[in-house]
Amino acid sequence: MSVVKPFAAVRPKPEFAGRVAALPYDVMNTEEAALRAAHNDLTFLRVDRAEIDFPAGTDPYSPAVYAKAAENLHAYEKSGICLRETSPRFYVYRQQMGETVQTGIVGCASVDDYLNGVIKRHELTRADKEEDRIRHVDTCNANTGPIFLAYRGSDALRALLSDYTSRAPEYDFVSEGDVKNTVWVVDEADNDKIEQAFAAIPALYIADGHHRCASAVKVALRRRAEKPDYDGTEEFNRFLAVFFDAADLKIMDYNRLLKDTNGHTADELFNLLGEIFDIREESAPVAPAKRHEFGMFFENRWYRLTLKPGIADDADPVASLDVSLLQTLVNEPIFGVGDPRTDSRIDFVGGIRGLKELEKRCREDMTLAFSMYPTSMEELMRIADAGRIMPPKSTWFEPKLLSGLFIHYLA
């Protein structure tokens, strides 16, 4: 069973919500964040990327930056831009980007569910990235960005979401990327109904936000060590999340770029690839239409590569992923890319940027690109259920959850 709780949020007043809400800190660099903030003095990037309030070149991991984040966070409430709920509540949060619509419930997940494996992971995390968010959460005494969690469908939750999304919303605005964001405040009388519905759900899955999640849990463990008589009701035992029905979610392609051909001539390259794939030249950019199909852009031409029968072991949920097959069959043996996490000759481009971005990069600084068929939510959950880990850069979720709409204080 999953433990999901309401919380007394600090959140923007409706007239400020669209200006406060910001994309997650980890989808942009400091310069991009500063540019956005130059046109919006209320942006939540002043909390999540507080280095933008310092001179260029300031170490973003200095104690002063984390202290500034906390100062800026508290200023939202002090200045009247944000309000504080007087009692714990849930929220319904819908995002629409083109034809993609995802509707979730905002609440708090349980640290113990993470520790006990009820909340399932599919990615490894890096200690340096964890440490940054640990310091941020600890200094701010708050979760400022929600974790993106998924669950397998619930009739009770579908009915509740249908009810609330037919009502007048609390927030309704369009954010960067032409994403429509709509929020409804759930009546306190429905808190128990939501908690009971989640109690019947055996597992939750981290879709996006592995580093934020791990960091939130480690802050909670620190607080527990500081308060050995904790009883589990303290807010630090929970972390901010949005919970989505997995059927609503869209994973986009996460494409690959290679710096060089590892010394192979074009003829040698096609001979090696021809042992693995059926290859057909195409007149337009190739967006793969099914699993085990790839697009390749090389020397200003597009090719469709279809894996030959019998090569993929579809009984293995990790090895049969297209991102795994490309790495083990192509990138490592042909291009010499042993560790895609660290090799500078490989780069990754989220599908939100489109296939033309692959062409552009190949004409600028790379040599060859592979377009991918997106990993599915079912593949993700199957791997997480098996306790396995996906290769790096396997999933790209859109739209991204915005930060700043809900703040969960730990005390």
Provide the residue ranges of all domains of the chain, joining segments of one domain with +.
4-250+398-409, 254-373
As a whole number of angstroms, the distance between CA 228 and CA 364 comes to 57
Specify whether the CB–CB gap between 92 and 183 falls below 8 A: yes
Position 126 scores a pLDDT of: 87
Specify whether the CB–CB gap between 307 and 323 falls below 8 A: no
Position 384 scores a pLDDT of: 97
Position 99 scores a pLDDT of: 92
372 residue type, one letter: M
Question: What three-state secondary structure class fits 90?
Answer: coil
Q: What is the mean pLDDT of residues 349-375?
A: 96
Task: Tell me how crowded residue 29 is: count the other CB atoms within 10 A of its CB.
Answer: 11
Nearest in space to 282 (alpha carbons), one of 296, 265, 268: 296
Q: What is the mean pLDDT of residues 272-283?
A: 98
Kindly report whether the global pTM for this prediction surpasses the value 0.85.
yes
**Percent of the chain topping pLDDT 70:** 100
Specify whether the CB–CB gap between 215 and 134 falls below 8 A: yes
Lowest mean pLDDT among 26-35, 178-187, 299-308: 26-35
Position 341 scores a pLDDT of: 85
At residue 392, does pLDDT exceed 90?
A: no
pLDDT band for 86, please (50, 70, 90 cuts): very high
Position 365 scores a pLDDT of: 96
> Hunting for tokens 């390749």 — which residue is that?
296
Q: What is the mean pLDDT of residues 50-66?
A: 96
Select from 3.30.1760, 3.30.1450, 3.30.360, 1.20.1070 the CATH code of 254-373: 3.30.1760
